[in-house]
Structure formats: structure tokens, C-alpha cells
Structure 1
Amino acid sequence: MKNYRHKRFTEIDICYETNNSLEFVNQCPDTEILFQERSRRKNCESYPQCIGEPLVYHCVRFREELVEVCAPRGLITGFCCALFDEGLGRVVEDYFHPCLGCPFVYQSDDASKYSKCVESKRKTPTLGRYERHTTLADKSNSIGTSKAWNSQRSSFAEEYHPVKLYETPVTISFAINGGEDIQQKRKLRRGHFAFIAFSTIVLLVFIIWLSVLIKKRYRKYVTQCSSSPTENWI
């Protein structure tokens, strides 16, 4: 089922920055006032957009616990709950957690409105924030440009671990192989669409020209036949 979710999105659609906003909570807001208050405190507008989609406040399940996260708004379909998928950086359907009280389609940031979907499975939830830590396999190699960093992605070991909220968070710069690759793919896609459009126009012009030519030939033939003297018919 997780593979199915990933097939719905391409590499361009992955939101890497959302993991930086992931934070454990005891419970999700159960009133609209509390939801708005927690949303203002989370300040999702301060995070960069994901391929033009603004990040909004979500309170959903993540693995066995509840988290607050800034992620793009999406549609949850199929009478099921929602969860945060760290591989996609998005809030998606949890097909293993059906919700009879949920509508067939609802906005992902409304997931906290359905109490059955925001019950923590752990008896003692972990309060804290997930930070992504990366370690170079070969620390002697200095990476000066983004291209060099991208070439070293395979040598990174990534792991998530909780950090207490009351400790000073560790800020780690993390370059992701996404910016230049995404722009390159978009350029190739635009070029492909332009080529298809040009080929289609050329084909239509050729068909129109051919039909006009055939029509003219047919009219000329009919005119010659009708202008022949009737004596020749006998």
C-alpha cells in the first residue's frame, strides 16, 4: 500500500522540507479555537513552499504517535484516516486505518477533526521534535557545490531520532538532490510537450493540404466529364 502511495507522486512532488517541521504532541486540537491557536504557533507560513504549494498546519498520526507538521494540503479519499509519510513529505491516506465517521473525501488538514484518526497507539507518547541527521561516509571529502553534494548522496546515512523540546535544537544544513534535477526535468518536459504540439500542427496542416488537393482533383475530373459532348456518349 505504501508503494501505491508513492506511485501517485513523482520525484518532483516530494516535499523534503516538511520533515524539518515534524514535532511530537500528546494530542491534537479538538476545537476550532485550539486548532487556530496551534496553527498560529506552528507558523507554517515561515517554511518554504513545496513546488508552489504552501505548507499548512496538520495534526496527524506518524508511525505510532501524533505529530504536528507543516505540509501541503491534499485530499484524503476512501473513508480512511490520514497519516504523515516522511518519504513523500506529505499527509496521505492510511488505508490500514479505516474511518466510518469520516467523509469519503476531505482535506488533509481536517484530519484532526475525526477523533478515531488521532488516537496515539502508544501509551506513553514521546514529546519532542524529529531532526534529520546526516553523516558523511568519508569526512575528508569537502563538498563545495551542490553538484558535488548530489554526487555524494549515496554515501549519506540518514536517521531520525527524537530531541526534547526543551533542549536547544541542533541546526544541520541538509542539501538535497532536487533543485537542479527538478528544473532539468521540467525543461525536458516542456520541450517534449512543445515537440508534440509542433508535430501535431504539422500533421494537421499536411492532412488539410492533402484533402484540399484531392478535392480539387476530383472537381477537375467531374468538370471534364460533364463538359464532354453528348455525341461521344453514344
Structure 2
Amino acid sequence: MAPAPDWPLPRVFAHRCGGALAPENSASGLRIAAALGMRAVEFDVMLSADGSPWLIHDETLERTTNGRGRVCATPDAVLRNLDAGSYRHRAFAGEPLPTLEAAAALCRELGLMANVEIKPASGFEAITGEVVARRVIELWSGVQLPLVSSFSELALETARHAAPQLPLGCLWVRPPADWRARLDALAAFSLHCAADKLDDSLLCAARAAGIPVLCYTVNDQSVAEALFRRGVASVFSDRIDVPGRSEK
């Protein structure tokens, strides 16, 4: 079955948990987002060598941790002991990589809605979609399910088969000409794209079909307001400290 068409979209999602104020995809980011009154967060999920879902954006560890190598080739025991905060600031030294389980528990504790982006390593699209979808259903049991999105249509396809009730978002830089057919094939709820690649004809067609359009990464409040006036439903932003971003 497809998800209900009234998933309660917030105006702003904190990009990669806490935007520019914390290490990306971190528990600190979730706490900062909640403390600033954000209603919703977005984060990336990738599988380890053990097939466990962890919050991290890159396929490799070097940019955001003190580890080395591919995430998909690194076991949980190694990921568990990495420092994922020092790259951002010494105040975050020792910040661990969160598992999807830990992030879900913290979102529930803090009352945060979530957009879980399936971020598969190359060659792991199908299994990542399946594992993340199944875990999301388990971890958010009894509460509002997160919106689950991905650039990988194969990941979304396996997520849809694994968890038919999930609200899915099709994520593109610039939506393709056949975006509607692809979205319908996945029974997806929303369309996500780069803010500067959005044209009004697409927005008009999406609005007529009742399909919410979400744009990333919008760090200027005037740009966000212009997008909302055009009919964009939500934006993803690193600037969650900007006055007016709080929705609580």
C-alpha cells in the first residue's frame, strides 16, 4: 500500500542533523537542532561491512572522521570507536558516529521528525534500500514514520518492496523529463531537487498532481521565502540558527 498523502511536512529540515552548527550526521547535531526549535532533521545512512546502518554521508571515512577507507568495508567494531567530531571543532572531539538505531531513539526522545536519506555505497544500492527500510519500520514503530529519500532509484525500489507503507522521496539534482513516471512507479510521496535547478513548469505540474516539492540546500532566508512563495513545500538548510527558522 502507498503511504497516506498527508505526511506532515515541516517548512525547514536541518541538513545533516544540525546544519553548520555541529559535525554532520551527529547526535550533537540532533540535540542542537532540537534546542533551536527545529521540527525536523535530515541525515544520511550507509551500511558498514557488517551490513549495519550508520549515519555518514561519504563513501569513505577520511573527510569527517579519523578513520580511513570505505565505510562499506569497515566493520562495526571499528566504526564504533572513530572520532567523528574533531574535524568540525575541538569542542566536538570524540563525537561518535551514530547508528541509525541511536539516531532514531534520539529523534523520538527529542520529538524530531526525520528525512532519512538512503546513501548507498556504489554497488550496494539494493541491499541498503532494503535494510534501511526494514530498520526504519522497526525503529519508528508506533510513531510518525520518517520520510525516506534517495538519489538511487534502485534503493528506493527495494525500500518500497521491503516496507510498502513508507513515505518515499525521489531525489535528483535536476529532475528528469520523465520525473512523474519515475515517481509514480515508486508510489513516491515527494520530489526533492536542487533549489537552483527547479523550474516553474515542473513546480506547477507537481502542485496540480498534489506532489510536494522539497529543495536543497537553501542557506539564505530570502531565497527560502522566494521558494515558498513559488509553491515549494520544504527546504533543507545548514543555517538553522537564522531567525524565523524555528517552527516550534
Q: Same fold (TM over 0.5)?
A: no
Larger Rg: 1
TM-score (norm 1): 0.26
Write 1 or 2 for the structure with the bigger share of strand: 1
TM-score (norm 2): 0.25
- Which structure would you say has the larger RCO, counting Cα contacts within 8 Å and 6 or more residues apart? 2
Write 1 or 2 for the structure with the bigger share of helix: 1
